[in-house]
Structure 1
Amino acid sequence: MGARVRRLESQGAEEVDVIRAAGGIILSGRSVVLVHRPKYDDWTFPKGKLDGSEGFRDAALREVEEETGLTCRLGRWLSDVEYVDSGGRQKMVRYWLMEVVGGDVADHEPNAEIDAVEWAPVQEAAERLTYGFDRKLLALIG
């Protein structure tokens, strides 16, 4: 599922699997959408893994709709974020700014993956986001 990349380290070259994922920061006025994942008890932006040969753009739109119930349009690319996930795997997530074209977060049915979807003013979102890299992404929208 992940792409194989070559990582250079002081001990020599090593090949690692990188999980490829995509997501978005959904902006309306000065508010953004946050999702709560009960498995990790975190607040973050909607995102998820690419399926098979799916491209990043298609995956971002699909994952955002699956996790929030919102149909969105891609805006500008924001950033690629790389980190080691809770399972010790390398992960790279490509994020876009997004605009809602349909749906309502109130229609989201809580489930084991995402139990809450909420609009939050940007300043409040900065305080609620669990991860520093999410706060850095939020700062990119200005």
Structure 2
Amino acid sequence: MEVGIKNKSEFDKVYNDLGIFTYHDDGFEVTLDNRKYFVKWWSIIGLVGYKKDLYSFDTIGLNVLCDNQLHFSFYEETPGWFQFLQHTKAVFKQIPEHWEIDIATPVFEPKPTLIYDRHGRTLAEFVSDEYPDPKLSLFRRFINRIMHGLD
């Protein structure tokens, strides 16, 4: 169970919480910094899962890259995380069912994983194609850092 969760009923509450997300047939809405963003499912180019070392523990993260260079980063501490994972897995059938568990081991290794790409590329191809100039792209620099264990 997640840190701070003492029993199954608390876990069920966290698991079923929609958090910062609202879901629609054609996409989802996310509220960040009091601003709402609507993302259509078809606009998602790729999903990159990874683990971030926070020294005393790791956290699982998911970067969502959409058309027009729009991207979001969500972590397992994000309110609504579990339901977001369930919704993305329902929409994108090719997402491995337990990717977030597979990424968890071994501990303290970033283990970036392209869990969905609309074009079926590898992670290296995805990063190269979507972010051709590393000087201009914070996301590419971020992915390069976690791929090489620098984050």
TM-score computed with the length of structure 1 as normaliser: 0.34
Higher share of residues assigned strand: 1
Higher share of residues assigned helix: 2
TM-score computed with the length of structure 2 as normaliser: 0.32
Q: Which structure is higher in RCO with an 8 Å CA cutoff and minimum separation 6?
A: 1
